[in-house]
Structures are given as structure tokens and as C-alpha cells.
A = this chain, B = another copy of it.
Amino acid sequence: MDSKPYTFDIKLPGGIPDHYDNHIERRLSSMRGQFLDQKAYSERLAREDTLLYEVYEFKRPEIAGELLHGISIVHPGKVGNEYYMTKGHFHTVLETAEVYYCLQGQGYMVMETPEGEWSVEPLRPGSVLYVPPRWAHRSVNTALDGDLVTFFIYPGDAGHDYGTIESQGYRKLVMDTPAGASIVDNPRWKSPEERHA
């Protein structure tokens, strides 16, 4: 890990940086229970363990004051009528923000607080998204003909809590409908009150 300044180039189109420390591939099998259409999910998985998204990471000390950063590439496609998306997460240190700069593609960031407040913001090339502290966030690629590429930055001490939002699901889903990409209620979502009942 270098303590000197460094640069890297994000090559477009594509989004692959000219160097990086870590390359993560997330496949269908790691998204069990996340897509609404479980039958479509199971049938697809029986055929192939599709690559849904990739992350190129740069390693920095995971402490306050540092900024972790990398590139996220969500591939195009659907499971049933639901677009490919990232698993999404809260930060372990809940009171930490994240900044996204969209480099390529079309999609949405689906966000939610522990109290069930929700927000869905569009992503398109040149747009910056500010995810304030306390908001879980998941990116969704609504273009069926190309990747959604974003550059992300978050505090070094933030950490990732995948489990909480994975077990409760997001309040909103982004589905392909006859009217186009639509934000719809997740019928499986439970309010904080229902969860704790």
C-alpha cells in the first residue's frame, strides 16, 4: 500500500482501470433470495451461474481519514422482469456517506434507511449521486444493451454490512414493465415494525 500520491486511468467505454489492487466478480449464485422471481432465478442458476457485476478496488488502510475507491460495472440483463443489480449494503459505521460518479450507462440507485425511508435516484453519464450517512444503497442497470459503470468513494472506516439489507430486502424494486423501467413496491418487504413483531 503506497503512502505516496498515485493516479490511474479509467478507460471508457468499459470502465476498466489501467491498474487496480483487487477484482471482484459477483455471480447469480451469490444473490440467492434477492430477486423477486425465485422460479426464474432457480431456472437460470441451473443453466449457468451468470456474472452480474464486477468491482475494481484500490486498497487503502481501512481507517478514518482515508477514502476507499473503485469502479463498479453492472452488466445488462434481467432475472424474470427484474434488472441485474448489486447486492447493496449499509455501511457498518452507519453514519458514513458515499459518493458515486456515473461514467457510462443508465440505471438507478435504490436506497433505504433503517427506519424504512426510501429513495430511488437516476444514474446517467455525468451525474453525481450523494448517498448521505445511514442509507443502504444498491445500483440497478436498466439498459439492456450495455454496462452501468460508476466510480465510487467512501470513508476508509465505513465497512460493509451486507446482511441487514439482504435479510429484510429493499422496499422498492426496479422492474422492466410495458411502460419501461418502473419503480415498484417489493411485496416481500417488511416494515421495521413487522420485522420486530
Contact = CB atoms under 8 A, between A and B. Distances in A.
B126 A9 contact: yes
A64 interface: yes
Interface in A116-144: 117, 119, 121-124, 126-133, 135, 137
Q: Quick one: which of A5, A126, A129 has the most chain B CB within 10 A?
A: A5
Contacts of A95: 65
A37 to B, nearest CB: 27
A170 to B, nearest CB: 14
Nearest to A2: B132
Nearest to A123: B7
A99 B97 CA distance: 15
A60 B128 contact: no
Given A60-B97, A99-B153, A5 B132 contact: yes
Contacts of A66: 97, 132-133
A126 B69 contact: no
Given A5-B129, A6-B130, A65 B155 contact: yes
A67 B8 contact: no
Interface in A177-196: none
Given A7-B128, A9-B128, A65-B155, 17 more contacts: A4-B132, A5-B129, A5-B131, A5-B132, A5-B135, A5-B137, A6-B121, A7-B129, A10-B128, A12-B126, A65-B133, A67-B98, A67-B153, A69-B99, A97-B156, A99-B153, A128-B151
28 contacts: A4-B117, A4-B132, A5-B111, A5-B129, A5-B135, A6-B121, A6-B129, A7-B123, A7-B127, A7-B128, A8-B127, A8-B128, A9-B127, A9-B128, A10-B127, A10-B128, A60-B130, A64-B155, A65-B97, A66-B97, A66-B133, A67-B67, A67-B97, A67-B99, A67-B155, A101-B101, A128-B151, A153-B153
